Amino acid sequence: MLSHDFETPENRLLAALPLEDYERLLPHLERIPLASGQVLYQLGEPITDVYFPVRSLLSIDHFSHANSTFSLVGQEGMVDVSVLLGETRSKRRVVVYTPGAAIRLSAKTLKAEFDRGGALHGLLLRYVQAVFLQLSQLAACNHHHSLEQRLARQLLLIQDALQTDEFFLSLKFLARLLSASRAALLLRVCVFRRKGALDNQRGNFKIVDRQILEDHTCDCYQMMKNEFERLTTTFK
């Protein structure tokens, strides 16, 4: 059983639930460590459990007929939301990018609680909506906004997800997230470093001045942040 301090919740999505609903789930929750590179879902495999990240980042590979796109999930969310839509096998590959922990719950238990139609049902439907909005917004952002704006947006989102100023993020992976070349991305990182916004050494990022990043990002960041914050305040 998971011991939980309701004053300092570990996963923001679970923390948004009313106490009564959370307590009903509590006997079924398990806190587990996550190692970098650990595979939680492979394409086509059965979905037996869902995961609510705790100070960790999960990399999600969304496959399509033409190519694949990537997104990240931190302690503001969960994987895999497709079980709520009746899916029993994963249509994406999910890998632990930043190690930490997660709250594990069986997919069967989550679906049964979801089907009750209570607070969890409403919360997770809004979460699915927020995820779809984020993916469409990220696609539009990568197409229309400058690399400088997209880099600032992604660094801010990662800082929000991990709730820390320091994290590891390889330039290769960051370039794939932003649909950019590594050479072009490195130039923008150097610009932010010279401006005093961040420090970067071999993939180890440190946000030194968040305000500089906020001044250089696009509206997409605030739109996505507002959508997820709305989830966590629904029952407060």
pLDDT for 19 equals: 87
Q: What is the mean pLDDT of the chain?
A: 86
Residue 63 has pLDDT above 70, yes or no: no
CB-hemisphere CA count at 13 Å for 7? 0
pLDDT for 6 equals: 40
Phi-psi group of 74: left, alpha or beta (phi > 0 → left; psi -120 to 50 → alpha; rest → beta): beta
Render pLDDT for 170-192 as a digit per residue (tens, 0 to 9): 888 888 888 889 999 999 999 99
The mean pLDDT value for 58-69 works out to 67
Confidence of residue 220 (pLDDT cuts 50, 70, 90): confident
Kindly report the backbone phi and psi dihedral angles of residue 59, in degrees, each rounded to the nearest multiple of 5, phi listed first. -95, 125
Residue 4 has pLDDT above 50, yes or no: no
Lowest model confidence (mean pLDDT) among 61-70, 143-152, 174-183: 61-70
pLDDT for 140 equals: 82
Strands of 204-207's sheet, edge to edge?
166-168, 204-207, 198-201
Confidence of residue 68 (pLDDT cuts 50, 70, 90): low
Q: Are 61 and 70 in contact (CB under 8 A)?
A: yes
SS (H, E, C) the chain: CCCCCCCCCCCHHHHCCCHHHHHHHHHHCEEEEECCCCEEECCCCECCEEEEEECCEEEEEEECCCCEEEEEECCCCCECHHHHHCCCECCEEEEEEECEEEEEEEHHHHHHHHCCCCHHHHHHHHHHHHHHHHHHHHHHHHHHCCHHHHHHHHHHHHHHHHCCCEEECCHHHHHHHHCCCHHHHHHHHHHHHHCCCEEEECCEEEECCHHHHHHHCCHHHHHHHHHHHHHHCCCC
State how beta strands 57-63 and 39-41 pair: unpaired
Render pLDDT for 124-137 as a digit per residue (tens, 0 to 9): 988 888 888 887 77
The mean pLDDT value for 112-122 works out to 89
Render pLDDT for 16-42 as a digit per residue (tens, 0 to 9): 898 888 988 999 999 999 998 999 999
pLDDT for 3 equals: 44
Domains and CATH numbers, the chain: 12-116 (2.60.120.10), 146-217 (1.10.10.10)
pLDDT for 234 equals: 56
The token duo for 146 is 């400058």
pLDDT for 232 equals: 65
